[in-house]
Amino acid sequence: MLRALVYLALVVGLSNLLLVPAIDQTLLARVRSAVAYLTAALLSVFRGDVHAVAERVFVGGSAVDIVNGCTGLDVAVFLASAILVFPAPWRDRLRGAALASVVVFFVNFLRVVTLCVLNESSESAFDVVHVYVWPAFISLVCLATLLVWIRSVTPEPARADV
């Protein structure tokens, strides 16, 4: 029960931290811009009509705004919190949370790239993939990442509460 409460506290606390205006306007704005510029950099290898301005990626005649839900931070909070409350040695937990966050950011980056391409080519496909396909896929990736990590660590022995 305690682990569930700690998980809930981590998720709520860290998620709400992402809503603080000072953090949004400084740290998160930089993350959003970085996602936009990295996406534009990758797509410009294949197309000449791609560029980023602040938190917006332009592909051809379309543009995609990178908002907080497009950074992967929210999903990383959920996954890292689950790893941090698992009964494993702290070194394994910290390493797992870091590696899981890298997985989330990489998959999320692929999400943004594909959505930028789809937005330019097919608005209806963009909507379906944005609302249904990618959220389901990222959820499955997070679950698989968590399960692979759990199988790779040795759980701490259960302690009897007195």
Q: State pLDDT tens for residues 145-161.
A: 999 999 999 887 766 54
Task: Decide if 36 contacts 63 (C-beta within 8 A).
Answer: no
Task: Decide if 130 contacts 115 (C-beta within 8 A).
Answer: yes
Q: In this model, does residue 80 exceed pLDDT 80?
A: yes
134-152 and 90-121 are packed helices; what angle lies between their axes, rounded to 10 degrees? 160
Work out the mean pLDDT of the chain and round it to a whole number. 92
> What is the percent of the chain where pLDDT is above 70?
97
pLDDT at 27: 92
Partner residues linked to 63 by β-bridges: 58
pTM of the model: 0.88
- The pair of structure tokens assigned to 69 is 């839900």
Distance from C-alpha of 142 to C-alpha of 147, rounded to nearest angstrom: 9
pLDDT at 162: 43
Distance from C-alpha of 160 to C-alpha of 44, rounded to nearest angstrom: 58
What is the total residue count of the chain?
162
Q: Where do the domains of the chain lie?
A: 2-152
